[in-house]
Amino acid sequence: MKVTEHIQNANGKPLFSFEILPPLKGQNIQSIFDAIDPLMEFKPPFIDVTYHREEYEYKELPSGLLEKKVVKKRPGTVGICSAIQNKYQVDAIPHILCGGFTKEDTENFLIDLDFLGIQNVVALRGDAVKNETYFKPEKEGNHYATELVTQISNLNTGIYLDDELQNSSATNFCIGVAGYPEKHMEAPSLDSDIYFLKQKIKSGASYIITQMFFDNKKFFDFVAKCRKEGITVPIIPGLKPIGTKKQLNLVPHRFKVDIPDELIMSVVRAETPEAVKQIGIEWCINQSKELIKEGISVLHYYSMGKAENIKAIAKEVF
């Protein structure tokens, strides 16, 4: 079932969803099931599975030349999605990136998903890998999320890269895209970011899922700006509980989001790791309850492969 259909069928009852990371290369899928099992009591209608593009590093040879070595840390997105749908009978939603894919790669990836009965995807440009200063698209790939959405939408109408195909079958993907309540880190302003978000919707996206935020006012203001610009699709808030003191520095740096001073100082003053976790859980519970009170239909949690904090939140909210 499509995400938009899940929302329509909920009849106003808030839905619980979450995102998982594929396991590190060399681990088996049981680590994924161990992260999902504790959360199934809250009946998630769908689970997102991230995609991690290949990263590479250079090694200097005795000759002085540099050898490029590909390091793929978290493969398996498609297989995990298929396993989730088969084991739990819930919809799995793979992330699809521009980076690391040619348009032909993307088309073949989507064909595989279609054959597996996966009806939802999240289309993302993707970030620069650690050895890049700025994002670099593949030479024959999509450069922007809008282009990726267009390619998926074309497949939904039976338009493939090979225009000589006869009697080509149309896919039926529901397309999600990312939104940034505090703007994308590379966007010059929030207004310009929303302008390009609207282009993604015009190109065929059916819903928006947001970057994490810790101040609900920023989410509400973002939604109001989107609605003012004529964006009418569902906007799903993305939430993450702070779990360690280290995250006070890592999260703003990595995701370019602000953490409210009240939350920061509560974490700073906490005397034990367990106290830090509880502060993060309680903050996220309060966020969640306020969002539901304001009529938000789906809450989406970034679990980062850890179920304990998310389960504690869900018990108090759903």
- At 76 the pLDDT is 87
Left, alpha or beta for 113 (phi > 0: left; psi -120 to 50: alpha)? alpha
The one-letter amino acid code at 315 reads K
The answer to whether 61 touches 32, Cβ cutoff 8 Å, is no
DSSP assigned state of 22? P
The answer to whether 68 touches 81, Cβ cutoff 8 Å, is no
- At 61 the pLDDT is 64
Nearest CA to 46 among 232, 301, 223, 308?
301
The number of angstroms, rounded, from the C-alpha of 208 to the middle of its chain's C-alpha atoms is: 10
Nearest CA to 3 among 152, 110, 121?
121
Report phi then psi at 117, rounded to 5: 80, 20
User: How far apart are alpha carbons 220 and 216 in whole angstroms?
Assistant: 6
Contacts for 47 with CB less than 8 Å, ≥ 6 apart:
17, 18, 19, 20, 36, 84, 88, 90, 91, 92, 93
Are β-strands 298-302 and 15-20 bridged in parallel, bridged antiparallel, or unpaired?
parallel
- At 318 the pLDDT is 95
- At 54 the pLDDT is 62
- Supply the range of the domain harboring residue 184: 3-317
- At 69 the pLDDT is 57
- At 241 the pLDDT is 96
Length of the chain: 318
CATH number at residue 208: 3.20.20.220
- Interhelix angle 216-228/190-202, rounded to 10 degrees, is 60
Mean pLDDT by runs of 10 across the 318 residues of the chain is 95 93 87 95 96 63 59 80 96 94 94 96 83 72 94 96 87 97 93 96 98 98 98 97 95 93 97 97 98 96 90 97
Report phi then psi at 68, rounded to 5: -90, 125
Report phi then psi at 89, rounded to 5: 60, 40
- Number of domains within the chain: 1
DSSP assigned state of 305? T
User: How far apart are alpha carbons 55 and 69 in whole angstroms?
Assistant: 9
- At 67 the pLDDT is 60
The answer to whether 182 touches 152, Cβ cutoff 8 Å, is no
